[in-house]
Structure 1
Amino acid sequence: MTQSQMAADVPQLVRDAQRGDADARDALIAAHLTLVYNVIGRALAGHPDVDDLVQETMLRALRGLADLREPERFRSWLVAIAYRQVQLHLRARRMSRRRLLTGPIEVADPAGDFAERTTAELVLDGQRRELVEATHWLDGDDRRLLGLWWQEASGDLTRAELAAALDVVPKHAAVRLQRMKAQLEAARGVVRALHAQPRCPELSTLLGRWDGVADPLWRKRLGRHVRDCALCSRRGQGLIAPDQLLLGVAALPVPAAIVTGILAKAGTAAGALTKVTAFVQHKVLAAAATAAAVAAGGGIVFAVYHEPAPEEFRAAVPPAVATTAPAQTPAVTAPATRATPSSTGSARKAVPTFITGVRKADIFVAPGGSDDADGTQAHPYASIAKAVAVVEPGRTIAVRGGTYRPEQGITITTSGTAAEPIVLSNFGNEQPVIDAADVPADQWAITQRTAYWRVQGLEVVGSRSHAYVCRSCANNVFQRLKMHGNARSGLMLRDAGTTGNQILDNDFFDNRDPAGESGAGANGTGIGLGVQFGDGGGNLIRGNRAYGNTGAGFDLGAFTGAVTMEHNWSYRNGGSGFVLGGGTPAAAAAHKLRHDAAWDNGSNGFDDEGNTAAVELTNNTAFRNRAVGFAMRSSAATLRSNAAIGNAQTDDVTGRVAQSRNSWQGNDVVLRSTDPTVTEGPRPGTGALPRTDYLATGNGVGASMDAA
């Protein structure tokens, strides 16, 4: 039995197995065992009976396979059996739904909670730890539902299959999921408040009556306090949507003993048993290798899919090239450049590349498709325009690799919902490229006027006007995009009602002024990313790079809502690195920037551009820009722990600016590296910023230069 047989059409495998084909039966086991193990394992939180229930579920499915009348429903039928087994187990054992807590939970002991054990193995960051801890506050029904939703978020279950497992219609399933997510978000707020130091005095008083049990009753009590308390509610801001956090966590590997036990009880021949076991363990070993590589590298990496990708998808990191350190201001010492750990080439071991696109979808698009087809994987559409025109809430569009050459701009007008977002994504690790050179110059390549979309893994090049404009958009996610070689801007969010959007891990580069003029400064076009000409709160820009654009790298001109920018890099742009104001009159917005870096830009590093609001800049770095490092000439800014190094002028600030612990205030900094080779090179397979020592100081001043 080969791997290609295991990946064959599931309904056909079911029919063959019903006719007595042992290979088809074994292929069904191998193809679905990981799914069942994750559904049961996460629902039972690592109970010792997980392995037994997984075996019992698979054996029940095999025994009942002959009676399955609709082979197309095999997956939902199998998940329903697993879900039923969990319910029977909890009822028989009367498993307690209460977990004792003596205080905020740290990273779990490997023998503890099932979800915690997985996250600890993958070295999860702060918000994922908080999310795992928050699951302790859910009741049993919500934890079981969370297990199913986790599989849906990772692409292993469709909404229809999830609904079938619950024995409800998809619309009712969406309501239950929304209710569970609301409880989870309330629990996350409670976790944040419990961890806060110093703790809220009123919360401390309330906790004096707490019996230490994490249960729904106390979740409501503490959640009510967090919601109504100004201090605690502020601490709950900036939480990343849970589906984004869950998407980064690898599936739980299936122990070899379970594979062997199921196949042996199913009567599999020894030779076939070995082949099936090898196929399942192939994924297990890949997951273990990922965890080991992450632990050895000391980084935070989150596997999306743990089967190694084809060789052509492996990211190659170029070796470091030595450069001469620039002349420094008297307060700065730059040591000789040294290579970062990720830039030393000969002994570096290959690290598995993670699949960042979707693996399952409702609608497919491929260069060789037809808009007269039905949009299935076997008969895909030819154009993205067709796919976005017919998509409905809760659906996923997978765009296959290759080049698409639209002759008219693409318009997106159908909104998703919080319960049923719409996904537009690359497929697997394939790279779709939208060459917009044939779109008329008076049209934008892509125009979106919607809410609740996730757009990821696309590349847009050659547009004669803006490449991608989202107008009055709300609650969208733009991730792992490459927008380059376009006129005016790579990505633009604009107009009133631009709220709750997240722009994550994208590259915006070589976008140009259509007039062909470079170095126009803050007012020039040809910007990387713009959030402009509108208003709205809750917008987050994190982990992006903007470089080689003729205008500014990041431009918040004429936008009156506060924007949060974290861990973004802007370099070698003709204008300023970060423009925080602009417009006539200039917009006033209290933007917050932390751990952002601007270097080698043609104008200023950070420029308030007439913004009079109380902007906050903490732990940012301006290096070797041709004008001012920090130009805060109008705002009542707060500048804390920033570094300005080698710029034509260190700072230009008004008397309204509050300053503390910045490099120009006597806090000398020593740069670990001034070699940008790795920093400006390819991203790792996860899509995060490259790990680098470039411009890092190590003393708490300036940007940390990590993806955090």
Structure 2
Amino acid sequence: MAERRTDTEEEVASLVTAARDGDRQAMERLVELHLPLVYGVVGRALNGHADVDDLVQETMLRIVRGLPKLREADRFRSWVVAIAYREVQQYLRRTARSRASRGDVENVADPLPDFAERTVAELALTGQRRHLARASRWLEPADRQVLALYWEEASGRLTRSEVAAALGLDRRHTAVRVQRMRDRLEAARTLVHALAATPRCPGLVAEAREWDGTSSPLWRKRLTRHVRECARCQAHRSGLVAPENLLPGIGLVAVPGVLLVWLRETAASAAPSLPARIHDALAPATATTKAAALAAAAAVTAGTLGLLLWQSPDSPPSAAPAPRATAPVPAGSSAAPSAGNDATATSLYVAPDGSDEGDGTLAHPFATLGPAVARVRPGGTILLRGGTYHPTEAVEITTAGTARHRITLANYPGEHPVVDASGIPRTLWAITQTAGFWTVRGLEIRGSASHAYVCRGCAHTVFQGLSFHDNAGSGLTLRDGGTEANSVLDSDFFANHGDHGRGGIGLAIKFGSGAGNVVRGCRTYDNANEGLDLGGFTTPVTVESNWSFGNGVNRWQDTDWQGKGNGFTLGGGNTRAVVPHVVRNNAAWDNTGLGFTDEGNPGRISLVRNTAYRNGVDGFHLTTATAVTRANAAVANGRDAVLGDGVRSAENSWDGQDPGTGLFASTDPAAVRGPRSADGALPRTAFLAPRVRGGAAPGATMTVS
């Protein structure tokens, strides 16, 4: 591959010399030129982990600090890449034990990309570029580091000599190292194509039967061995374009504006004092400095990202269709961060009669969600007009908001949008989100042949007032590491069903980790398999004031029915992790299986004031957990409570004389499926509410006035 440069060696060398002599503009220019390069190397090597920004910042500061010691100015770029590479290696060594990720064994698909699809600015990867990004997930960390450097070389931002310098090898050994990585990458690409095929090779399906969904080297070797020896799978290799012809088209990495502004200011402040006072200049930034950087970044963003301006419509919007009783559009919840549906200068609009050739204004809305999520920026809002949408392509949300500037995806005020996802191929999840600080509210999604909405490693996201139903995989799934501080509020997940009941989960938070997740005020009902599933999630989740009922019932006359029919599953997922979930004031009834089950979780689960009624097998099945149960009620189940020796039980209905149905104010469930109140709360009902008020009786309070 020919050695190319974006900027000449002479230009960079002169900037280095000037910066060492105290030239502020030269230092700023060096940072501006090389930050995207460092961000690309680090980001791609780390697959877009949340620590990317911090590691890039640390790397750039090391570069600024070390500049006075660089003897050869014309080697600056190689020196920069070598520092970035070392920082990545040190980071991976520090975090080796905490990087394991779990997969979804119910409906295993090929692993979706994290960094390649989350940080490549405004570009939906298609065709072979998409598969190339997915294949990179299968590489070992060392190979991903080499790929990150090779990516920069293929894009013309590094030369082979600079790649060799970063690896600490000569050019000949670098060529060998790169070729080995390419061989593994090509094997992974063929595997990804085989996994994406419809239908899949039966032999590959059989080989992957025990696969937990982890994109690990072990499974790469096992699955690629089959692909290599199988003529049907090997056929997917034909027609693959060489990666160096695909990598440049994937584009540059988007560097966060705040990071760029802060580093430029740091570099500028350091330049006049180099080298004598560099340590003082690089002291931790004060709150004032960071605030100024944020303000400057906002100004830069406003001036350069071309945010769309709101335009008043020529005529009032047409009347919206009447919403279904089971899919209300609540006004909100006091627990949710402030992120309204107001039309603002950063609003984008989508309408069933819009056009993706439009500009996303209210007067010229998009027709599908894809262009809107590609264009939205932190602080922006996407509003869906009422009516039914029929997408044929999956949507991927990769742009993250910030703590101060959340991104909102919501219904247009007073209108009810319905996304009929039945036209999306069954190998794809209808919506995949890999970004944090979003508020998703007031949407209905139905008909997906897979999962309706999957949030991978999302943080600080609020899901509220949703109605996800009649999907084959799940209504809403939150998964993977980094799933933290999310709230699922006042939403309904129902009638989701897959083949023979093996699929069909209402709400799942599983196969991942992350603190601070809350589920409150939700209904999960009439799903084929389970209502709420926390299987394989290794960090405590708070589950409060939810209803799960009617799950596992064969409403589809399936002659090979296998639905579990559990209301609240508080463990499982092929892990024995000790997870002390907090479960309070919930109710499970009329499920064919278990009302509340630890499913192998030995953790100290806290179950306080929950109700299990008329579940087919057990009301409370806690045979493994060292649970603490207090003031729970179990009535008319197959068995009310099956408890292991490690369970502490007090003040529950089974601890005294069985009160029977006389415990409840009502056993009439007529109101439980009704519309929610105007504020999004569960419908008012005395069903299963304790007959004795004031907290003296066990069980969930329900919503009786």
Provide TM-score, normalisation by structure 1: 0.50
Q: TM (normalized to structure 2)? A: 0.50
